């Protein structure tokens, strides 16, 4: 299963629990590098695929930005 990751907030989605956790960028870069290596060698490893996605904090940011636009004249 691919990993869903938010680079902006360095958060990873734990799929089994459907929760976002803090996860170091350095570790996710290592996972991305492994995936690229496997791809070059034609090894199918979807569990090392990292998908950029918005996290729970992004949703909060978006909501707050929308509220500011509504409140401002």
Domain segments of the chain: what residues? Answer: 3-71
Query: 14 near 3, Cβ under 8 Å?
Result: no
Asked if pLDDT for residue 2 goes beyond 70, the answer is yes
Q: What is the DSSP letter of 21?
A: E
- pLDDT for the residue numbered 47: 82
What is the value of pTM for the model shown? 0.73
Cα 45 to Cα 28, 50, 66, distances in angstroms: 15, 11, 39
User: What's the pLDDT tens digit per position in 11-69?
Assistant: 999 989 999 999 999 999 999 999 999 999 998 888 888 998 889 998 777 767 766 77
Measuring CA to CA, which residue among 44, 52, 48, 46 is closest to residue 13? 52
What span, in angstroms and rounded, lies between the C-alpha atoms of 23 and 10?
6
């Amino acid at each position: 299963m691919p990993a869903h990751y938010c680079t902006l907030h360095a958060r990873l989605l734990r799929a089994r629990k459907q929760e976002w956790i803090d996860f170091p960028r350095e570790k996710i870069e290592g996972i991305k590098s492994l995936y690229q290596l496997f791809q070059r060698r034609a090894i199918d490893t979807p569990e090392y695929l990292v998908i950029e996605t918005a996290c729970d904090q992004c949703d909060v940011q978006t909501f707050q930005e929308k509220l500011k636009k509504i409140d401002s004249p």
